[in-house]
Amino acid sequence: MFRKLLFWSHLIAGLATGIVVFMMSLTGVILTYERQWRAAVAEGRYLPAEQQGVPLPLEQLLSKAGELQAGQPYTTLVITNHPGAPVEFRSGRRAGATLNPYSGDPLPVRSEPLERFLSAVTGWHRWFNVGGEGRAAARQITGVSNAVFLFLILSGLYLWLPPLVQSATLRARLWFRSDYPSSKSRDFHWHHIFGIWAALPLLAVVYTGMVISYPWAATALYRVFGAELPVAESAAPVAGGAPGATATTLLPPRDPAAAVLGSPIHTVAGPQPPLALASLVERAVAHAQGDWQRLQITLPAPADSLVRIEIDRGNGAQAHKRYTLGLERSSGAVVDVRTSADTPATQRLRGIARYLHTGEVLGFFGQTVAGLVSLAALFMVWTGFALSWRRLIQPLLGRRR
């Protein structure tokens, strides 16, 4: 009785959300290697060796970038570990400028047609590409459908087990066959095979999507891993901090200079003029010992005595391959080193969930797995609809005839 009830619940839930799940899976397949597409386009526009020379001072590049975007100061400077790559200045999430490091001229590395395409696909994946007031409702539909998909995976795992568990029966539901007596038999078999092989990674992809959509799903994740939940009362603004900064985000200074560099923290007597940004970058590069992909420098205010430089050794989505140096601005001495272990557990878990959803946290391999299970979900929806048609619609058509 329970199996029958679960089967019909599985079937009805699949019919109710199948189109949305198909759309999210299809766009997920298309976005599998989004990061690599952007990187390939950018690298194709890097300066060739014959156009390279002596780079301009970073302060001069900052001044030139400011001329391109008056009224909105830049907050971040990004340097890529490639001699032909531009120097990127960012202001907020989207605004910014990419400059030729040798001339200071704009050096765009993005393909606008590709960006429009990826933006449209991402919009369909998240909210049917709906704009305006309808976006919130569209997000609710995709969010609920994603939650129902989680139920479909879990109930499908139970229904996959044959009523009589035998090794021969289990093997038959694990491997494809070369011949099928009918299309119904093929669809039934494929539905089971794609479902069982994709189940575990799909659970990760689907649940992390729920973490992105619903705070309660994120809270459940934090509780499972024993992370201390953020306290609302601790969200008071920090004096002198940026808007939105909270007391919980401040990290106590460490003494990693001795642990990482094997030397004590340097102290400088008396005020000294700040070092050039290029000198601080050189110290960060020396600290990374050549193993880095990007440097992200938080541009200091004139009164700041500390400069923070994030060293990324991964693809940009792997927090465990990033760490941040705190450099004394006047001497370049390392004041502290912060790794992902120094961030609050809830922040770490949310970052992992965000990029586990796309597989990027595991690099190219993880992206490939996420893309393959999204492709498997397409076959599961298709075969599910085909089986439902034969069970529910074809008998009605036969009676009419």
For residue 82, the domain's CATH number is 3.10.450
Q: Which of 33-42, 83-92, 157-166, 304-313 is least confident?
A: 157-166
Q: So what's the pLDDT on residue 172?
A: 78
Range of the domain at 172: 2-35+115-227+355-400
pLDDT digits (tens, 9 = 90+) for 301-340: 989 999 999 999 999 999 999 999 999 999 999 999 999 9
In what helix (H) or strand (E) does residue 210 lie, and over which residues does it extend? helix 183-213
User: Do residues 73 and 182 both lie within one domain?
Assistant: no
In this structure, the answer to whether residues 59 and 126 fall within a common structural domain is no
Q: What distance in Å separates the CA atoms of residue 387 and residue 18, rounded to the nearest whole number?
A: 13
Place of tokens 């690599």: 36
Q: Indicate whether 272 pLDDT > 60.
A: yes
262 has pLDDT over 50: no
What's the mean pLDDT in 228-236? Answer: 57
Q: Is 94 left (phi over 0), alpha (psi -120 to 50) or beta?
A: alpha
Residue 94 has a pLDDT of 67
Q: Structural domain tally of the chain?
A: 3
Global pTM?
Answer: 0.84
With a cut of 50, say whether residue 244 has pLDDT above it. no
Nearest-5° Cα angle at 360, 355 to 366: 120
Q: To the nearest whole number, what is the mean pLDDT of the chain?
A: 87
Domain membership of residue 388 (yes or no) is yes
What the block records as the tokens of 150 is 């989680």
pLDDT tens digits, 32-69: 999 999 999 999 999 999 999 999 999 999 999 988 87
My answer on whether 103 and 132 are in the same domain is no
Q: Verify that 165 and 260 share a domain, yes or no.
A: no
Q: Tell me, yes or no, whether 99 and 119 share the same domain.
A: no
Residue 182 DSSP class: S
**pLDDT for the residue numbered 270:** 55
Same domain (yes/no): 185, 138: yes
